[in-house]
Structure 1
């Protein structure tokens, strides 16, 4: 590190302002006149007029020199007030005058706020040319400006070449690296700073804690915490809040909460940090609890704290608590804050209260891209795609997120044709496409299915740098599988071996299981165990595959594997187990799992009903239905399909008729074709032909050919001539090429 005159040529070639960092010529004086030639031109006349000719010489005495300095300073400040930063900086090089240090500091601040890297380089060049020994604090301001402009190379080079450094120099360079996301470099500089015996200030510690939070360096965070205590910074609310923040980011909420409780007078930033960290770690209820404590402590929340508290309520479905927070925001006049209103729109929309969401959206503060996108998403998520599209078309500006939420609305509602039309419109109107867009388009390809379009998207992803995106890779794998191109799915699966995860394995395994290749799915599972840990969704697919091939022993092994490895046996897995054991004819194990289930829903009950029906336990089906009614569980169409089939199997004609009537009278379920078919089977199987004829005449829809064929067969079996002739006549109308005849001999 040089200890001589600090002279740096920022622009070694005349007029060259963009060729990166300058060459350094130690111990070589650079004439100001040579540099000033680069910046004369149109500004020279302007400066001459500003100085009124008094600054054209600097040899007439000290009074003239002071006058020219004052005139140049005034001209620079006037241009800064008018927002002409480049012109103000160019004035520096017009005349050979030394300007006050305060002006340089002011210029560095403005350059930093405008992220003007070229002007920052010019100001530094003029400073080190005019002053062989520039003040350290000004060089620190230059480092800060480079950091805010994102030019860490300039900042580091200047820092390394400084003859002398202060604590502020270390603060500036550490903050520059932290600000630009290079947490590891910042922490390395902090260690070097301590090794050189430089005393750390509050600013240094705050920057280092920020870097620890970015890098998730818990061990180093604890060391910095100890140093803060050692150097007597206890009581500094900024540092204490930073410690809470870094512990929260490292997911050590017990330490974060302990540190927060030690803050004597937490301010609004402190409260915002603890609320946010509880939210980020998934404890929405405690985040809401801390917000309530903040209100009781009479600390006015920031808009971001309101937003975080509302999101916390949304994380656990606390609409009532969210509405209370909304009421408090009205009380302190923050309802129409842009951040708060946007979050409220999202909360109400996701909870299905679109009326409240729209009312807030109509506020003037909500006329922005984020709120519009949130409202479009709210309509789309709730299935109101028409309203979502109307609002989308009214948007004056759109982001890729806006396009994606509208496209997601169409895919969520299974409106594949409109989704494809929207993709075409999107390609015509914007070039903004991200990995989410490609994932949605691939979802459309899988649903149609259209493997050729999927291949085109695959090519687009390869050409545009999305090839290594895991989300896109898994979407491609799912698309090939659902389109039935298992060969291409397997090839792509091996091509993405460097980045695939358990989702990739699940997608491939599910594709094989869906197409009835259960043995191959089992082989994939064995290979999967060597690379990643299966998820519970994997086991759901495997159990379904076992059920399809009646592999009871393999199903038992999978069940035991889950128990041994501590997997959660939730309601979905219980349903898969009941289905597997039922189809494999081990109904006792299925019933045992059903009875031991911690929670039950209508899907699990339906699985058990169909399992009992499959194993000939019709009376057990009736018991299950009665249990559902006692527990207040609302049956659906599948439930009644099972109960009617059980009535057929058990010969319970009257009971079946009662269940059919109960379906619409008590549960307001409109019978579907399969329910009518079951009742026809019930009456016809047991010879209730009068009831069958009346039932068919009262059907709200025309009977299909399979139903008419069934009626025809039952009429022949039970010698019901009139009904048989009626069925044959209708069958002949539907298909005259294959005539049906109900002859008298059939009846006699």
Structure 2
């Protein structure tokens, strides 16, 4: 048949321009062929070609074809095709049905074009519940919660009844903005319209109550769902993890199995994260068994969580085994294992893995740099920073914070100032983490004036970490009076933390200000702050440094549980007060309480032996470190032994010790031993040491 039709050569989103006129002859057989050709293109993923074929045929097609076409428009790349299909529908059909316009609206939303979706919605001569649902869902899915909520209120005002999809979407938007009051009103409508047993809406209610911090309501809603599905379980596990109740998250995860629900890969991941946060290795290993059983060991989301769990629980080898057994390793898994080695102090191994990474992003670089800074390897960190600046284009606030930490560690004020300028030029100056790093850098580099100026500039966004950094700077540079004055000012703006008191007490210890230290101790007691292990250790340190050992002992006695750090602080404090015998007595009590000594403990014991002249006992302690306690000697332990033999004239033992050391002695060690040789008339050993010193200097 011959038809006179209008057709445009290039459609746009503005459908008000009349298409050019042309005469085309088609047959019914031709239309069937065109439909089949369009369907073939859609099936093979050639959506633009399908749209062009459709647009070149200016006759109306069956509604099912338009609906099918719109369903294939589901990414931003498909937006042009969606425009063509909608234009063809409007151009060839006088009054397109509402359901097809709704499909077009959904297509625009899936293509992430809310502008087109809203414009179509506004131009629709008639709308139904599906139209409202499509637009509300679009705004909710694309994270525009305020707009989604406003549309829902408008819809409700117009008397249009919501369905289960609408309720789920608006509850999701309420969760995004923590809108508890409206969520409860929507909950009332859910009950009124008979959707209480709907698992999708039930899951959304669990989520919104949990995000609003009402876990009691969330748990109640969870138990009211007749048959929670895997998504529902994932929501409740995740929300318990978010509020810091990792134990309950793991318990709920294990209940899924008894209820016959197969966890999602994200649920496995969340449960493993919960195990990581509470260092629950046994539970994590059980979950690992479930991962293998359900065949998820190749899933990169689950595998990265497994690696992280083993690393956090101190099982680095098991984490590497999981990584090594992965057939396909993505960027997240690579970054997890690099971070694990770096943050465990094995930076050499971490760097080796980092260099093997096929692809890196800024997070990978940050993970490696964080390992260097955590263990104060400043020269390696600086080299890495230089390499990073030559390689990575887009630095983030974490990178800048770490770089500023490097300049602080190196006490490189000039580098810190340059980084501060970079921060300003690139708009990172209002980032709190970066701002606090700058403050800490100025303080450690001794530029208290710049630290105070920057602190004042941070007045609109600083927090108690900022205050702690400034307090630490003053304490570090022996300005204890100013430290206490600032502490008084701090209380108008931020609540002190245990780290605040630790900083204040360290400032008093560094300046031997016993009177001020007692004032802070009294403040802690008067204001009923909990004296935990951090504050108790800081108090012991302050009293020891201020030569008030009896108070330090009383503080230790008052502890319900005493950890190794607390004992070490008091043992070293005894040495500082020239009370070596008391330090050794404390060591005996510590062992009796079942506290395992570490390298710091043995440093204190060896210093006590030096103080009291207990050469034989000191030798026994040094030998027992690795033989009985599994503690490898560090540089400071070798230094203590050289001091022990040198001070008390045990020259034969000194010679034997120095010639069998497993590490090279430092220049101060050699100089101390040479001084002993001169005082105790040991020319042979002195000659050997002098030669070592010559080699050291040249």
C-alpha contact 1:481 1:512 (8 A) present in aligned 2: yes
Equivalent residue, structure 2, for 1:474: 436
Partner of 1:447: 409
Q: How many residues align?
A: 671
> Cα gap change, 1:182/1:557 in structure 2, threshold over 3 Å: closer, same or farther?
farther
CA–CA separation in structure 1 for the residues paired with 2:632 and 2:324 = 38
The answer to whether structure 1 residue 700 and structure 2 residue 646 are counterparts is no
Deviates more, 1:451-460 or 1:234-243: 451-460
Alpha-carbon displacement from aligned partner over 1:541-576 (angstroms, at most 9, x marks no partner): 011112233433433332333344443322121011
Deviation at 1:727, TM superposition (A): 11
Structure-2 residue corresponding to 1:662: 621
| Mapping for residues 641-720 of structure 1, pairs under 5 Å | 642-643=604-605, 653=613, 657-665=616-624, 666-667=628-629, 670=633, 671-678=637-644, 680-681=646-647, 683=648, 692-700=650-658, 704-706=670-672, 709=675
Q: What are the residue-to-residue correspondences of 1:57-206 with 2, within 5 Å?
A: 57=25, 64=27, 66-67=28-29, 69-113=31-75, 115-206=77-168
Is the 2:677–2:685 contact (alpha carbons within 8 Å) kept by the matching residues of 1? Answer: no
- Give how far 1:291 is off: 1.4
Paired with 1:545 and 1:243, the residues of 2 have a C-alpha distance of: 51
Query: What do the CA deviations read for 1:416-442 (whole angstroms, capped 9, x no partner)?
Result: 333333333333333232112222222
Where 2:20 maps in the other structure, the secondary structure is helix
Match of 1:517 among 467, 474, 479: 479
| Map of 1:265 onto structure 2 | 227
Answering whether residue 381 of structure 2 is matched by residue 423 of structure 1, we say no
Q: In the alignment, is the contact (CA less than 8 A) between 1:115 and 1:148 conserved in 2?
A: no
Deviations 1:13-50 (A, max 9, x none): x8584xxx74x86xxxx53437xx9xxxxxxxxxxxxx
- For residue 299 of structure 1, the aligned residue among 258, 261, 278 is 261
Tell me, in whole angstroms, the C-alpha distance in 2 between the residues paired with 1:693 and 1:657: 13
Superposition deviation, residue 540 in structure 1: 0.5
Distance (whole Å) between structure 1 residues aligned to residue 426 and residue 383 of structure 2: 22
CA contact (8 A) 2:148 2:170 kept: yes
Structure 1 match to 2:308: 346
Alignment match, 2:3: none
* Matching residue within 340, 345, 351 for 1:378: 340
Unpaired runs of at least 5, structure 2: 1-7, 660-664, 694-698
Map of 1:7 onto structure 2: none
8 Å contact kept, 1:377–1:388: yes
**Residue in 1 that maps onto 2:4:** none
Deviations 1:447-481 (A, max 9, x none): 22322222332233233332322222222222222
Q: Deviations over 1:465-506 (max 9, x none)?
A: 323222222222222222222222222222232222222222
Alignment partner of 2:454 out of 467, 489, 492: 492
Aligned-pair distance for 1:628? 0.9
- Whether contact under 8 Å (2:369, 2:402) holds in the other structure is yes
Residue number in structure 2 paired with 1:33:
20
In structure 1, C-alpha distance between the alignment counterparts of 2:159 and 2:69, rounded to whole Å: 32
Offset of residue 318 of structure 1: 1.3
Does the aligned pair in 2 maintain the 1:178–1:210 contact within 8 Å?
Answer: yes
Partners of 1:613 and 1:386 in 2: CA distance: 35
**Is the Cα contact below 8 Å between 1:148 and 1:179 reproduced in 2?**
no
Could you say which residue in structure 1 is the equivalent of 2:558? Answer: 596
Contact 1:369/1:397 (8 A) holds in 2: yes
**Structure 1's 648 and 426: CA in aligned 2 closer, same or farther, altered over 3 A?**
closer
C-alpha deviation, 1:637, in angstroms:
5.2
**1:204-243 paired onto structure 2 within 5 Å:** 204-243=166-205
Q: How far off is 1:316 after superposition?
A: 1.0
Q: CA deviation at 1:697?
A: 4.6
Looking at structure 1, the residues matched to 263 and 425 of structure 2 have their Cα atoms a distance apart, in angstroms, of 48
**Preserved contact between residue 582 and residue 612 of structure 1 (Cα < 8 Å):** yes
Question: Are 2:533 and 1:571 equivalent residues in the alignment?
Answer: yes
State the partner residue of 2:273: 311
Alignment of 1:16-55 (within 5 A): 17=12, 22=14, 31-33=18-20
The more displaced of 504-513 and 564-573 is 564-573
> How far did residue 404 of structure 1 move?
1.9
Tell me if structure 2 keeps the 8 A contact 1:510–1:541. Answer: yes
**Structure 1 residues 630 and 76: CA distance shift in structure 2, 3 A:** same
Aligned residue for 1:56? 24
8 Å contact kept, 1:388–1:406 = yes
- CA distance in 2 between partners of 1:120 and 1:520 (Å): 67
Residue 370 (structure 1) shift: 1.9
Q: Measured at CA, do residues 399 and 636 of structure 1 come closer, stay the same or move farther in structure 2, by a change above 3 Å? A: closer
Secondary structure, counterpart of 1:472 in structure 2: helix
The CA distance in 1 between the partners of 2:127 and 2:455, in whole Å, is: 55
What is the distance in 1 between the residues matched to 2:559 and 2:501?
17
| Counterpart mapping for 1:544-559 below 5 A | 544-559=506-521
Closer, same or farther: CA 103–610 of 1 in aligned 2, 3 Å: same
| 3-state SS in 2 of match to 1:175 | helix
C-alpha separation between the residues in 1 aligned to 2:607 and 2:366?
45
Equivalent residues of 1:337, 1:365 under 8 A apart: no
Relative to structure 2, which stretch is displaced further, 357-366 or 528-537?
357-366
Q: Could you give the per-residue CA deviations for residues 293-317 of structure 1, whole angstroms, max 9, x where no partner exists?
A: 1112222122111111222211111
Deviation at 1:201, TM superposition (A): 0.6
For the residue of structure 2 that corresponds to 1:700, the secondary structure is helix
Q: How does 1:604-643 map to 2 (within 5 A)?
A: 604-614=566-576, 620-636=582-598, 638-640=600-602, 642-643=604-605
* Secondary structure at 2:284 match in 1: helix
User: Which moves more between the two structures, 315-324 or 602-611?
Assistant: 602-611
User: What is the CA-CA distance between 1:593 and the residue it aligns to?
Assistant: 1.6
Match of 2:206 among 244, 254, 277: 244
Aligned residues: CA RMSD:
3.2
Q: Return the offset for 1:139.
A: 2.0
Q: What is the CA-CA distance between 1:380 and the residue it aligns to?
A: 2.2
CA distance in 2, matches of 1:458, 1:100: 64
2:312 and 2:512 mapped to 1: Cα distance? 42
Query: Quick one: structure 1 residues 82 and 637, their matched pair in 2 at CA, closer, same or farther if it must change by over 3 Å?
Result: closer
TM-aligned CA deviation for residue 732 of structure 1 = 12
Distance 1:383 1:669, change over 3 A: closer
TM-score (norm 1): 0.82
For normalisation by structure 2, the TM-score amounts to: 0.87
SS in 2 for 1:56: strand
Deviation larger for 519-528 or 266-275? 519-528
Distance 1:90 1:566, change over 3 A: farther
Residue of structure 2 in register with 1:331 after alignment: 293
Structure 2 contact 423–429 (Cα < 8 Å) conserved: yes
Alignment CA distance shift 1:230-1:638 (3 Å): same
